Amino acid sequence: MYLSERPRRLRRNETLRRMTRETQLSVDDLILPLFARDEPRARKPIASMPGQFQLGVDDAADAAAAAMDAGVPAVLLFGIPARKDAMGSEAYNRQGVICRAVEAIKKRCPGLCVITDVCLCEYTDHGHCGVLRENRYGALDVHNDATVELLVKEALVHADAGADIIAPSDMMDGRVGAIRDALDGAGFEDAAIMAYSAKFASAFYGPFRDAAESPPQFGDRRSYQMDPANGDEALREMALDIEEGADIIMVKPALSYLDVIARAADEFNIPIAAYNVSGEYAMLKAAAAQGWLEEKRAVLESLTAIKRAGAKLIITYWAMDAAGWLQKQA
Ligand code: PBG
């Protein structure tokens, strides 16, 4: 039988597949999230995220050192403070959990890239990402500009502690520009900003809110995070953050938003990050625990798909496993 093309010729064996593979997932692409608790030593399992832990500050430094040894270039830190209040004041305490974790990690692993999540939801007693004020319609809502002022303070203490990259995840308008100005004004002009630019109001953050003890105590985050139906708006959000000075833009979650990642990669020429979020982790973990999916293959396929869509950086709770699996393949 004559066929003008036989694509199967190049799929015949692994050598040919390796030679013609378009997307190479690498350990260099991975960022490991860590949850730091405000105590020296702790290792508290997160029920909805099997294999993940809330760690004491010194344990977070141990985990960071292990990541570096495995070749993972960066960690992303989330803080669980000892006390929460309406204004999230532990978030911008220079002596707070994140600043101490950054210092402990930088002391152990000066070469590791330390990224800090900048948001208030882990630090407020109401669990929202900013300052609550009654709006002019009589409803309690997160006040944009009052929140930006506090996010700026948070970014400054993180930079002062030694963070390499500041990652605002709050979705307030104008926060990237305000943080950039403040960092430059304080002599932190080399601290980069990775903006959670297209962050959707997603059901897939559920397990994270257990992990960070940050579920909103009333309502939801739909007045500040994006509507999952909006792709064009995601591009506008990303363009705004680039204009305001973002060095890296992020799409979050990753797997239900691969189209947004692909459009961003077409449109912009700065590095794109994607967050393979807690719910995406929990889904595969649960199926793998049942024996319904092969975890390693499903994870490597998902991460490769995120990269193929156009993300250069992938934040994933599987960073340590993936680093090991990728090494063995090579
Ligand atoms: C907010 C923040 C969240 C995540 C990262 N930063 C939660 C939220 O917006 O509710 C979610 C990450 C995940 O689900 O893995 N500080």
Residue 329 confidence class, pLDDT cut points 50, 70, 90? low
The Cα 315–Cα 327 span in angstroms is 18
Is 199 an active-site residue?
A: yes
- Residues linked to residue 315 through DSSP beta bridges, in sequence order: 31, 275
* 205 Cα–ligand 1 center, Å: 6
Give the ligand 1 atom nearest the CA of 206. Answer: 14
DSSP-derived letter for residue 127 is -
- Please work out, in degrees rounded to the nearest 5, the angle formed at the alpha carbon of residue 97 by the alpha carbons of 92 and 99: 65
Q: For position 17, what pLDDT does the model report?
A: 98
Does position 82 have pLDDT exceeding 70, yes or no?
Answer: yes
Q: Which of 44, 106, 107, 252 is catalytic?
A: 252
Task: Tell me what the mean pLDDT of segment 128-153 comes to.
Answer: 97
Nearest-angstrom CA–CA distance, 298 and 177: 38
Distance from residue 273's CA to the centre of ligand 1 (Å): 14
Does the beta carbon of 121 lie inside 6 Å of ligand 1?
yes
Name the token pair of 151: 């996010």
Which residue out of 84, 199, 285, 307 is catalytically annotated?
A: 199
- What does the pLDDT read at residue 271? 98
Report whether residue 183 contacts ligand 1, using a CB cutoff of 6 Å: no
- Mean pLDDT of the region 310-324: 98
Contact 182, 152 (CB under 8 A): yes
Q: What percent of the chain has pLDDT over 90?
A: 98
Judged on CB neighbours under 10 Å (0-12, 13-18, 19+), 312 is middle
Q: Whose CA is nearest to atom 16 of ligand 1?
A: 119
Select from 167, 125, 172 the least CA-distant residue to 145: 172
Mean pLDDT, residues 177-182 taken together: 99
Mean pLDDT over 108-134 rounds to 98
Q: What is the mean pLDDT of the chain?
A: 97
Q: What is the mean pLDDT of residues 209-224?
A: 94
Q: What is the mean pLDDT of residues 318-322?
A: 98
Q: Is the CB of 117 under 6 A from ligand 1?
A: yes
Q: Is 252 a catalytic site residue? A: yes
Shortest-distance Cα residue to atom 1 of ligand 1: 169
200: Cβ below 6 Å to ligand 1? no
CA of 199 to the centre of ligand 1 (A): 9
Percent of the chain with pLDDT over 70: 99
Find out whether the beta carbon of 99 lies less than 6 Å from any atom of ligand 1: no
What is the pLDDT averaged over residues 229-253? Answer: 98
For residue 328, pLDDT over 90 is answered with: no
CB of 119 closer than 6 angstroms to any ligand 1 atom: yes
Is it the case that residue 330 has pLDDT exceeding 80? no
Q: How far apart are CA 19 and CA 17, in angstroms?
A: 5
Cβ of residue 278 lying under 6 Å from some atom of ligand 1: yes
How far is ligand 1, taken at its centre, from the CA of residue 208, in Å? 6
Residue 305, judged by CB atoms within 10 A of its CB (0-12, 13-18, 19+), counts as middle
